[in-house]
C-alpha cells in the first residue's frame, strides 16, 4: 500500500469551522470552454466546506484509508526538520497546494526514492523542480481549470481596488476619519483605461471577459494567439511581445505560468518601459516579478499600485518588502482557494487518485509531466527547467 503525503495550510486560528456563512454553493456542470468538472466516482465531503486546511484533508482520509493507504497530512513543510521531510523518504505520492506549497526541489526529490507522483491540488506546479521530476520519471499533475474563474474574479476585485484607492479609503473609516480629499486624491475611474493581460489562457481570457462591460480598451500578449473570432467578440488587441503591450497599458494583469522563461520577467528594465503611474495585478506567481524592483517602482512613482496574492517564497518571510511597500493591495495566496474552488479541486484530486490506483489514464488536461517529458497542459504551458531556486527562504516565516 502507498504512503500519501499531503501538505495543506493550517486550520483557522479560531478552530476548524462548525458552521458556515452560507448553506450551499452554486452547482456548476462545466467550465466556459466546455471542459467538464472533476468526475470522481464518489466524494466524502460536503461541497462548500473548508477542505484545504489540515483538518479538511481535501476530504480524502476515508477514501485512502479504506483502501489501506497511509495518509499523512501536515502544514509543517519547510526545513530539514519539518514533518514533511520526516515522511518524504517513503512517500509514493505528494499532494500540495500552491497557496502553501511543499517545494519539491531536486534535493528533496533525491531524498524520496519511492516518489512516483507529485499532485497539485489547484493550478500551477512550479513548486516542483520539473526538470528533476522529468529526470526521475515522476508524474506531475494538477487540477486544471478548477479555480481559474476564482482567480479571475480576484484579479478584477484587486484591479478596481487599486484604481479606486479602495484600501486607504476603507482604512479611513476604520480609523474613525472622514477626509474625503485624502481618499480621492489617488482615485480614478477604470472606464476608458487600457488594460492588458500577460497570457490569455483560462484565467487571462476570463479576466478580459469580465472587464468588457467596464468599457475599457483590452489588450493581450500570448505566445498562442487567440482566434480571430474571439479577438473580434471582445475587441482585443494582440501584441507580439510583452514589451509592446505594456507601453500602452494603464493596468497590467499577469496570468502566465512561472517557468525559467518568465522568472523575474518584470524587473527594473521591464517596469521602466511601462506608462508612468501604471498598475500591476499579479495573481500568477510572485517570482515572475522582481520583488525589489516592484518596491522601488512604487516608491519612485513609476507604478501607482501593485496588488496580487502570490509571493515568493510562500509563506512570505516577515521582512518581505511587499508587506511594507507603499500603495500595495496584497493578500495571502487566497484567490484560488475560495470554498467554491476547494470543492472543485478536492474532487479533482480524488479523480486523479482513483485513476492512479485503478491503473486508468489520468485526464490529459491534468498532466504536466508523464513518462519523463512535459505532457498534456504541461507541454502547452511550461518549459523545461527549474524555478524553485530560493524556496528555502520560506523557512524564515514564523507563525
The runs of H, that is alpha helices, within 40-121 are 61-66, 83-88, 106-110
Selecting among 158, 302, 314, 342, the annotated active-site residue is 314
The whole-angstrom separation of Cα 42 and Cα 347 is 8
| From 61, 194, 320, 333, the catalytic residue | 333
Comparing C-alpha atoms, which of 369, 398, 396, 371 is closest to residue 384?
369
User: Is 147 annotated as catalytic?
Assistant: yes
Catalytic residue among 127, 202, 206, 285: 285
Report residue 70 as a C-alpha cell.
Answer: 497511509
Rounded CA-CA distance 171/176 in Å is 9
Q: How many CB atoms lie within 10 A of CB 160?
A: 16
Find how far residue 189's CA is from the centre of its chain: 28
Reply yes or no on whether 333 is catalytic: yes
364 is catalytic: no
Which residues are registered as beta bridge partners of 300?
none
Residues in the chain: 399
Q: Which residues contact 350 (CB under 8 A, 6 or more apart)?
A: 38, 40, 42, 43, 58, 59, 60, 63
Question: Could you tell me if 272 and 303 are in contact, meaning their C-beta atoms sit under 8 angstroms apart?
Answer: no
Q: Is 42 among the catalytic positions?
A: no
Which listed residue (61, 87, 147, 154) is catalytic?
147
Active site residues: 147, 285, 314, 333
Amino acid at each position: 500500500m502507498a504512503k500519501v503525503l499531503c501538505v495543506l495550510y493550517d486550520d483557522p486560528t479560531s478552530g476548524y469551522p462548525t458552521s458556515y456563512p452560507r448553506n450551499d454553493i452554486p452547482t456548476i456542470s462545466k467550465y466556459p470552454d466546455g471542459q467538464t468538472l472533476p468526475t470522481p466516482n464518489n466524494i466524502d465531503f460536503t461541497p462548500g466546506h473548508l477542505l484545504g486546511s489540515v483538518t479538511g484533508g481535501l476530504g480524502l482520509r476515508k477514501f485512502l484509508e479504506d483502501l489501506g493507504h497511509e495518509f499523512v497530512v501536515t502544514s509543517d513543510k519547510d526545513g530539514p526538520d519539518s514533518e514533511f521531510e520526516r515522511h518524504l523518504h517513503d512517500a509514493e505520492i505528494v499532494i500540495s497546494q500552491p497557496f502553501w506549497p511543499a517545494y519539491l526541489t531536486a534535493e528533496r526529490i533525491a531524498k524520496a526514492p519511492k516518489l512516483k507522483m507529485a499532485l497539485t491540488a489547484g493550478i500551477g506546479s512550479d513548486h516542483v523542480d520539473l526538470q528533476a521530476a522529468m529526470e526521475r520519471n515522476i508524474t506531475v499533475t494538477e487540477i486544471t481549470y478548477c479555480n481559474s474563474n476564482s482567480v479571475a474574479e480576484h484579479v478584477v476585485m484587486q484591479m478596481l481596488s487599486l484604481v479606486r484607492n479602495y484600501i486607504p479609503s476603507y482604512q479611513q473609516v476604520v480609523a474613525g476619519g472622514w477626509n474625503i480629499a485624502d481618499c480621492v486624491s489617488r482615485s480614478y475611474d477604470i472606464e476608458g483605461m487600457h488594460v492588458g493581460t500577460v497570457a490569455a489562457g483560462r484565467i487571462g481570457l476570463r479576466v478580459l471577459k469580465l472587464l468588457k462591460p467596464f468599457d475599457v480598451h483590452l489588450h493581450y500578449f500570448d505566445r498562442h494567439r487567440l482566434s480571430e473570432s474571439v479577438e473580434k467578440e471582445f475587441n482585443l488587441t494582440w501584441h507580439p511581445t510583452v514589451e509592446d503591450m505594456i507601453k500602452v497599458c494603464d493596468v497590467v494583469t499577469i496570468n502566465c505560468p512561472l517557468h525559467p522563461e518568465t522568472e523575474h520577467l518584470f524587473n527594473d528594465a521591464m517596469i521602466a518601459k511601462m506608462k508612468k503611474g501604471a498598475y500591476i495585478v499579479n495573481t500568477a506567481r510572485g517570482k515572475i516579478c522582481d520583488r525589489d524592483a516592484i518596491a522601488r517602482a512604487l516608491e519612485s512613482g513609476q507604478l501607482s499600485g501593485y496588488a496580487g496574492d502570490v509571493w515568493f517564497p510562500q509563506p512570505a518571510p516577515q521582512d518581505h518588502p511587499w508587506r511594507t511597500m507603499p500603495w500595495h493591495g496584497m493578500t495571502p495566496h487566497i484567490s484560488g482557494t475560495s470554498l467554491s474552488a476547494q470543492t472543485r479541486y478536492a474532487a479533482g484530486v480524488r479523480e486523479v487518485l482513483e485513476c492512479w490506483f485503478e491503473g486508468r489514464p489520468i485526464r490529459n488536461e491534468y498532466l504536466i509531466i508523464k513518462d519523463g517529458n512535459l505532457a498534456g497542459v504541461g507541454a502547452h504551458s511550461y518549459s523545461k527547467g527549474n524555478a524553485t531556486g530560493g524556496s528555502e527562504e520560506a523557512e524564515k516565516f514564523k507563525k
